[in-house]
Amino acid sequence: QVQPVESGGGLVQAGGSLRLSCAASRRTFGTYAMGWFRQAPGKEHEFVSAISWSGGSTYYADSVKGRFTISRDNDKNTVYLQMNSLKPEDTAVYYCAQTRGRWATTDRLEYAYWGQGTQVTVSS
């Protein structure tokens, strides 16, 4: 398995929480940085968050800073996105992606492997 696989999406009311999970290749997971992007209907892919290979460095989009937390468990080959205080504007398909480098990046072009996405819908 090379392609990451997301889970944990769903329907939640505004102000609620969801935790997304992303399982990636065991052979490479602990070596590479991971990221989350999202795409709302009619909009382009938007960077959400990224984490370095060790978890020591993280980036967040301004729109989610203070509400979302990215983390990883290299023993479980999984990266997480804890989403709190969700807003209707967070509604989108959320994609997990893996880079070929160690360091977190906001640049979509640096991500080599992408999951199929998981739908997050926040109702008002």
The answer to whether the beta carbons of residues 96 and 35 sit under 8 Å apart is yes
Residue 81, classed as helix, strand or coil, is strand
- Asked whether the predicted pLDDT for residue 31 surpasses 90, the reply is no
DSSP string, 18-55: EEEEEE--TTTGGGS-EEEEEE-TTS--EEEEEE-TTS
* Comparison of pLDDT for 16 and 41, the residue scoring more: 16
| Mean pLDDT rounded to a whole number for the chain | 94
- Asked whether the predicted pLDDT for residue 1 surpasses 70, the reply is no
Per-residue pLDDT of 94-114, as tens digits, reads: 999 999 899 999 999 999 999
Could you say which DSSP state residue 116 is in? -
Among candidate residues 84, 79, 37, the one with its CA nearest the CA of residue 54: 79
Alpha carbon distance 106, 36 (integer Å)? 9
Alpha carbon distance 28, 40 (integer Å)? 29
